[in-house]
Amino acid sequence: MLTSLSSSSSSSSSSSSMVGLLLALLVAAAAVPGGGAVWLDLPPSGTKCVSEEIQPNVVVLADYSVVHEGAHSDVTIASKVTSPYGDTLHHKEKVKTDQFAFTTTQPGNYLVCFWIDSAEKGVGASVNLDWRIGIAAKDWDSVARKEKLEGVQLELAKLTAVVEAIHENLEYLKDREADMREVSEKTNSRVAWFSIMSLGLCIVVSALQLWHLKSFFQKKKLI
């Protein structure tokens, strides 16, 4: 009876640990950038932009469309996607609905901008942007069909992808922290040298001023 109780307790503890691990993975998955739907109200003139900080080698997919309001059904928009270094990844004009896809090559903020370019003046519009990044951009239906996954196997594959994404995100954050620490140390070193040089310059200027004053008073025979 004692052995049976111990085995039951171990099984219960193992199940609790598994449930806790799955919950932890799901909570961590929420911290991984995945995108989402964004609603933008475009003014008659001007540009509306959204940005997202993305690490390199991440797939980005997006669909956007004009949401017609009232009688203004002929409104068209233009869109432009730029990389952190200003490279144009997508540019379309006079469209009502479109999509774009790319794989990031540089870390940083990727910018998506929209503006109205239709002939109608003084008319605003709304744009629905469905922005998917990384795991959210993966076609899990195709993966399931290709690898013949279903049920628990498919969910485990998703969780594995989440764990890999979390690991990559942590590595990216660690590299960013190391870069920022290096920049901070270089800045502190330069500030210290600048302070020393400023102090030395002040001492030299003070000494020259004292020498000049002493020479002036000696010429005037005041001392």
Where do we find the tokens 């001392």? 223
Task: Label residue 112 by pLDDT band (50, 70, 90).
Answer: very high
What single string gives the DSSP state of each residue in 158-215?
HHHHHHHHHHHHHHHHHHHHHHHHHHHHHHHHHHHHHHHHHHHHHHHHHHHHHHHHHH
Report pTM. 0.58
Lowest mean pLDDT among 16-25, 59-68, 86-95, 96-105: 16-25
Per-residue pLDDT at 69: 57
* pLDDT exceeds 60 at position 19: no
* pLDDT exceeds 60 at position 15: no
Average pLDDT, stretch 122-139? 78
Could you tell me which of 72, 75, 67, 68 has the C-alpha nearest to residue 94? 75
Mean pLDDT of all residues belonging to the chain: 77
Which residues partner with 110 through β-bridges? Answer: 52
Per-residue pLDDT at 145: 64
93, 80 Cβ separation under 8 angstroms: no
Per-residue pLDDT at 188: 92
Average pLDDT, stretch 101-111? 88
Q: Does residue 143 or residue 97 have the better pLDDT?
A: 97
Most confident option among 13-22, 43-52, 179-188: 179-188
Tokens of 131: 């922005």
Most confident option among 27-31, 128-132, 147-151: 128-132
* pLDDT exceeds 60 at position 28: no
Per-residue pLDDT at 20: 54
Task: Label residue 103 by pLDDT band (50, 70, 90).
Answer: confident
Per-residue pLDDT at 142: 66
